[in-house]
Chain A
Amino acid sequence: MSSLRGRDGSALVAVITIVPEEFEAIRKLERFNQCPGDCAFLYRKELGGGRYDVLLAQSADRSNTPCAELVSDLSERYRPEYIILSGIAGGIERDDVGLGDVIIADHVEGYEIQKFEGGKSMTRRVAIDHPSKYLRETIARRVWTAGSWVDRIKSERPVQGTPKVVVGNLIAGDKILGDGENEYQRKILEEFDKAIAVDMESHGLGRGVFSARSTRYYNLNYLVIRGVSDLVNAANNNEVRKKWREYAAASAAAFTMEVVDELVSQCVVFPGEESK
């Protein structure tokens, strides 16, 4: 498949992270280099002619809009074929979700945009793209089944156990949820009764991909991989998050890089390999 070129080059996959722990978790697994020019992105391998196998980027800030802007910037400069968001999220105690587990989103929804009328609030829907079925059902499924991603986790697990992979709905908003007693949070969790995790960026990612893909020639796909750092409807949420944050970021990073390697092995022909 011929790849599109952005202003600065092209890439197969771009990995997006938000907070420094997430960024560093990826960098602990692989060596990345600074992209040429004036952008802050890193690349893993150059395949020649300004094409890269993997780019690594960090959002300027938490929350959905900067993430949407980062997708826009990456798409314009490198037109990656796939984007993977790797990081931490708050889990919701449903479907056996536990601390340190990896969540793969099959559907993303924003809970923040609401309309207040007559004393009631109604969530409004905004058009976005949802995570790629192809990436989830083929690439991620293979990594998950193989199970070796767990060996790549470069952080000590706070308590004994093995992380699981859970697929389900993810909700995103700009305000942090993390207080089981909070009425707003209760309302949100009630409304989105199938959600198993909550973060602050995935909706922006979906919006950004939807926008980037609004052109005839570009078919960007994305995946959200989140390590569970806390359970938002449990007590002592903040303390738990501090304890599990690094591990959750590391487990998400491990799974992400396995997915990336699987994609690269399927799609990239490295110089000299053609003759083999």
Chain B
Amino acid sequence: MSDQYLRRQARAADAVELAAQTLLRTLDPPIEVKVALCKSYSQLLRGEYSVEGTLDDLIDWAVGRGRVIVSGRGASGKTAILHRAALKAREKRFAPYLIALSRWDQSATDDWKQVRSTSRDALGVLLRRFSSSGHDVSDVEFLPPDVQKIFFIDGLNETPGSVADEILESCDEIAAVMIGASFVISDRLVRRNLRDESKWRFVMPMPVQKLEAEKLLSHANVHPPHGSEGLLDSPFFLDRAIKGELRASPLGTIKEMVESRGKLTPEAVAQASHAAYLAYKLDGSRTFSIARFEEAGGGVGIAETLKAGGILVAAGEGTVAFAHHWYHDYLASKFVAEHSDLWNFQNRHEVLDALTFKANSFDAIAFVLEMLPADSMGDFIQAVYDWNPYAAGYALAEARIKVDDVPRGVRLVILAMLAERRFDRHHYSAVRASDALDLLTDKDASEMRSAETLTELQAFVSKLEAPSRAYRVWRDLFTLETSQRAPKELLERISEEDSVLGWTAANVLKRLALDEEKMKSLLELAQNPRPVVRWRAVHVMGGFVEDRFINGLLKCLDGDGDENVRYGALRSLVEIASRDELKVSVIVDELRKRVVMLRSRPRLLNELKRAVFLTKGVAPRNWSDEISRLFYDLLDSSKSAEEAEEWSRISSRLRVHVRSNDQVAA
């Protein structure tokens, strides 16, 4: 190796050490945090683990498998863990690289789109934009094969959801190709779409030991406020406590820091929260233009005040970012909590997408829930469920509210609907529902989780005492016995304004028997002027192997002006196909005629890729062969070799999925 190269290598290692120590100095005194290895994503999401370990173990796990996701709730110490592990790796004479994604912004997304198909270029963008090492991929690859290169990527959840999946794919490919390369990636508690879960290791940060917390507090001579004891197992809040900034709740602590340390008047807080919301909505990033403060009516003076208080920091070229993403989440969610029109049916999808980076991080949802008055919590959590059922489960689990704060009737409905989804024919829908339910630990959630069939679930729901009239109405719907004739009024229910009742009616109708008249009515409802009614109608059709429904769904897929309706029609077509060996061929042939249209609609294409994966035991015998015909048409019309390979890969995955779970229906 040349002297020039060796000098650059030494500078890169120094830069990593400096970056790690700079961050860790703000967390003084150091808090000892352990980690634990989980057997699978599911085990991690349930909060279970196989073995506890230290930072040395974390590095061993990374080197052994090449791919580690450190996934945990906010404030669980992930950033500190990664920075400490990077220092530890340097001590071991490995080559560590720190990549901090907290400043991911729209321009990073634009850059990313240019390079995502080539994993080395993708890693190059991450190193160039988010690492202080000064090394590029060529430098890293030049290192001898016996030098372990460990990339610590902090804050995957700071990127939009689809980018996060692509980053993981790139890391997966690099770990396979680059000799001695390993990745340790921190993320929030969400399940990512990994190509092959078995290649990854899943690690959770462990709570701070009580003894460790007591020792540090005693040393600092600090007495945390009454009621905050439950927060002291979090490194973030323990650090706040040591610094005398802890309040009785996470939200209270953050509020206090933003508003007091930021020295804002109530009017300025309102304007800052508007600016924070606009940043999420318009910039799609935690790094945003300082002009958002002016657009919110507050002027840059507010930004300067926040900067002076250490709440906001300059991020270069007229942009700023909050010093901790929770400050941003707090302010943006305050704005949403104070404007209930933002989560009405028309706005909720757009607003909740913006607030969560397209369902990438649900802290802000939990904050909204905590800030709302009790009489609005039920409506809000229903709105969240309507947008993303997993997010509703997460918010119920994460929000520091009492179980009774959300009306029991609403809570039971949401839990039961999540539990029902566990029996969905579509594998990924069922997995997501299980994930959400797994986050909840109360008795009702546990009982519903343990139901092994829909009938058992219905029996459990029937036994529960009805806390309200609205609940009784819902329960009477939900517990209608499978295969019985659908009552006349049930079809009308899918036009309900109330989204829970409307969707429950649609779900229930799918499992009942429809006579001739109701089938006609359903087809008419698929032409209803209200998009949500059409969406529910096409959803119901998926439950019946009927030629007229297949034709109706194809008509909606081709011509409906609403994207949700087209999406629902496609899912229902896949569902009908999954119910009948003969119809699979018919539907696949119809979809093959629509390859150009499917290609022009990414949401439909993505859903198609996922919806064809069915749960155990429901696939007809010819399922993977028939679906492969459609996928090979998509392969043949691919615009690039990478895309063609992707279709080949999905076809193969589907075959393996069907075989491995012995899923072919008898």
* Residues in chain A within 8 A of chain B (CB atoms): 4, 7, 38, 60-66, 68-69, 72-73, 75-76, 79, 112-114, 116, 124, 126, 174-175, 207, 211-212, 214-218
Contact = CB atoms under 8 A, between A and B. Distances in A.
A72 B176 contact: yes
B175 A65 contact: no
Interface stretch (B399-407, B580-588, B637-645): B637-645
Q: Counting chain B CB atoms within 10 Å of each CB, which of A174, A211, A212 scores highest?
A: A174
B655 interface: yes
A60 B656 contact: yes
Contacts of A62: 652, 655
Contact of A174 (B66, B175, B635): B635
Contacts of B175: 76
B248 to A, nearest CB: 46
29 contacts: A4-B179, A7-B65, A60-B652, A61-B655, A62-B652, A64-B648, A65-B648, A65-B652, A66-B656, A68-B645, A69-B649, A72-B177, A73-B176, A76-B66, A76-B176, A112-B648, A113-B635, A113-B638, A113-B644, A126-B641, A174-B632, A174-B635, A174-B648, A174-B651, A211-B177, A214-B177, A215-B179, A216-B141, A218-B179
B141 A75 contact: no
| Chief secondary structure at chain B's binding surface | helix
Interface in B143-161: 144-145
B178 interface: yes
**Complex A-B, nearest 5 residue pairs according to Cβ-Cβ distance, in ascending order:** A65-B648, A65-B649, A61-B652, A76-B176, A217-B145
Main secondary structure of the interface of A (DSSP, over half): loop
B557 to A, nearest CB: 23
Contact of A61 (B63, B142, B635, B656): B656
A112 B644 CA distance: 9
A215 B652 contact: no
Contacts of A112: 635-636, 644, 648
A215 B641 contact: no
Given A112-B636, A212-B177, 14 more contacts: A7-B64, A60-B656, A65-B652, A66-B652, A69-B196, A69-B649, A76-B177, A112-B644, A112-B648, A116-B636, A174-B635, A207-B645, A217-B145, A218-B145
Contacts of B655: 61-62
A63 B652 contact: yes
A113 B66 contact: no
Chain B interface size band reads 20 to 34
A238 B75 CA distance: 62
Contact of A4 (B145, B645, B656): B145
Contacts of B64: 7
Contacts of A124: 641
A170 to B, nearest CB: 18
Q: Which among A38, A112, A126, A217 has the greatest number of chain B C-beta atoms within 10 A?
A: A217
Given A73-B176, A75-B176, A217-B179, A113 B641 contact: yes
Which of B141, B175, B636 has the most C-beta atoms of chain A within 10 angstroms of its own C-beta? B636
A246 to B, nearest CB: 21
Nearest to B659: A61
Interface string B576-610: 00000000000000000000000000000000000
A113 B643 CA distance: 10
A194 B386 CA distance: 59
B49 to A, nearest CB: 17
Interface string B58-72: 000001111000000
A66 B656 CA distance: 10
Contacts of B651: 63, 174
A174 B656 CA distance: 15
A69 B199 CA distance: 12
A218 B63 CA distance: 19
A212 to B, nearest CB: 7
A64 B641 CA distance: 13
A116 B179 contact: no
Contacts of B176: 72-73, 75-76, 212
A192 B150 CA distance: 45
